[in-house]
Structure 1
């Protein structure tokens, strides 16, 4: 039975304008700028996009979006599956699977927790590979997105530096030296301002030459809540548009663009300054606790919501409108995260490694 709320959601989604240049029946999620303008939030995390939509617009059930949550030692895993065009438009995200591993203590120098997170990450990567029925010898292209000269954006290149790169072994090493390994190549293509080339153009050329069975991207993301900076790992098969989380959207890196599956893993390392102030405003007014979940179904936004956004933009826009904030310990944080992600990627990709000791695989 379709609930009244579900009908309302579907009607609202169908009434939204399609993406420019696309027929109505083929329109995907609304553009980044439209979604941000409507919700006053910028985030790369699907779990946060859902929270924003539900908090501001209505019930916890969004048509075409399935959500499940699993508690694990030290944190949780949330799976958000966007299965319909209506759900995609409402969420402002491309259809696909989004797996979010949340470990609140990940920012601490906690080796056992880091290993646990890497193991969970490797398990989730293998889950995606199995769903695609990727053979154990299928080649993979790792892509470390981001600017290696900007510390908060250097996560991708640093992960590539610590991943186990093996493609050359399949050309020059004896069979026993590559036993249990998968042919993996890695590249950190930089950003448009450094190379003069769109990242997607570089990757497209490599795909045509290398012909991998999978393109695996690693990137730094943007969040809407301070608690998720450096503590949340998102894995998705929906591709990525580099820079979209900070309003600098580039051409997408997706299966449709490249012709092969694309897996993306990222950790939020930055947050908008106005977003922090807006979050503090809500907490001081008692409207949202630090670990708030979702507003009860049907409860409208609190009084003064629109005036709050307008006030923040008027007072702070000229000074903080485009300012991006990152933790002061970002140097150490990026190094720790790079090790965790690289260890998880290594055990997830190479069939000869077990999940018990992921850090033994680091370069």
Structure 2
């Protein structure tokens, strides 16, 4: 068993690592839409919220496996993400005609943190069209959409929450949609899943640098969050390496390998893992790690998210119309 429970913002991963614990108030639903796997985690009780360290609410994880290798899979992934976004919006505000602010959280100059700002580049904003060209706005069946990328505290000297609250006070949207980068337990899932939730987020939580929460309580507007895991910490990575080595040794046929497995597995328990985690955190090896091709992955995922959001926000507008309006 992998006892290294490192940092993760993905609810389904946190639920999996706590599956052996005795508590109530969590519901897991799995299904497939056009070949795209979807998992919903509903955190229903205060006990479950405390154990999982996640706010009560719904967390939807969409698997993007093969989405960037096959055009038809990509289209199905877009449709699935758009459908889940639409569903959460309807649950939160209960209407089809609405105004929204899309907030791309993160540092655009740091590739692994640029999911939010990169996605914003492809969003079809329409508030100005409604105000200046109302006939065009009505004929296209738009919703009123505004998009901002507030940067990070080190760039602006202002908390993202302060900027978002100020803009909301001026624009008065029906819903705020936050887009951010997350941390994962699994290196293979980096830029490979999307998490959608009807709760807020603490900017910077993925790298252990949480700022003020952005949620209904702090903003005063319903909040939806879209996150993509882009980083894994050293503790988690070390645990995965040890676990995979143990599996390889266990499945081997060489007697010396099996002997090594017996010796290592007998010492590999939760107490040992806790000691190793503590020792790693005390060294200069406490890194945040991201894939070597993260620049390419972020561009692909951001493109998928922007298309999905445009479809969900603007009554399933065609990609041709989106391209014509953006270019």
TM-score by length of 2: 0.87
After superposition, the Cα gap between the structure-2 partners of 1:244 and 1:315, relative to the gap in structure 1 and judged at 3 Å, is closer
Give the match's secondary structure for 2:37.
strand
After superposition, give the CA deviation of every residue in 1:16-36 in whole Å (9 maximum; x if it has no partner): xxxxxxxxxxxxxxxxxxxxx
After superposition, the Cα gap between the structure-2 partners of 1:280 and 1:181, relative to the gap in structure 1 and judged at 3 Å, is same
Residue equivalent to 1:229: 190
1:311 is aligned to 2:265: no
After superposition, the Cα gap between the structure-2 partners of 1:315 and 1:352, relative to the gap in structure 1 and judged at 3 Å, is closer
- Given candidates 183, 191, 198, the residue that maps to 2:159 is 198
2:215–2:222 contact (8 Å) kept in structure 1: yes
Give the match's secondary structure for 1:224.
coil
After superposition, give the CA deviation of every residue in 1:156-210 in whole Å (9 maximum; x if it has no partner): 0111110110000011014134421000000000000000000001001111111
The Cα shift of 1:307 comes to 1.0
Counterparts of residues 328-347 of structure 1 (less than 5 Å): 328-347=292-311
- Given candidates 228, 246, 258, the residue that maps to 2:219 is 258
After superposition, give the CA deviation of every residue in 1:302-328 in whole Å (9 maximum; x if it has no partner): 95222133135426741322x111111
Q: Distance in 2 between matches of 1:132 and 1:352?
A: 19
- Given candidates 49, 58, 75, the residue that maps to 2:21 is 58
The count of corresponding residues between Structure 1 and Structure 2 is 306
1:150 is aligned to 2:114: no
Q: Distance in 2 between matches of 1:352 and 1:69?
A: 25
Q: Distance in 2 between matches of 1:83 and 1:304?
A: 31
Unaligned 5+ runs, structure 2: 251-265
The Cα shift of 1:351 comes to 1.8
Computed over aligned residues only, the root mean square deviation of the Cα atoms, in angstroms, reads 2.4
Q: Distance in 1 between matches of 2:316 and 2:135?
A: 14
Residue equivalent to 1:17: none
After superposition, the Cα gap between the structure-2 partners of 1:131 and 1:314, relative to the gap in structure 1 and judged at 3 Å, is closer
Counterparts of residues 176-215 of structure 1 (less than 5 Å): 176-178=136-138, 179-215=140-176
After superposition, the Cα gap between the structure-2 partners of 1:345 and 1:303, relative to the gap in structure 1 and judged at 3 Å, is same
Q: Distance in 2 between matches of 1:134 and 1:189?
A: 28
Residue equivalent to 1:169: 129
2:25–2:48 contact (8 Å) kept in structure 1: yes
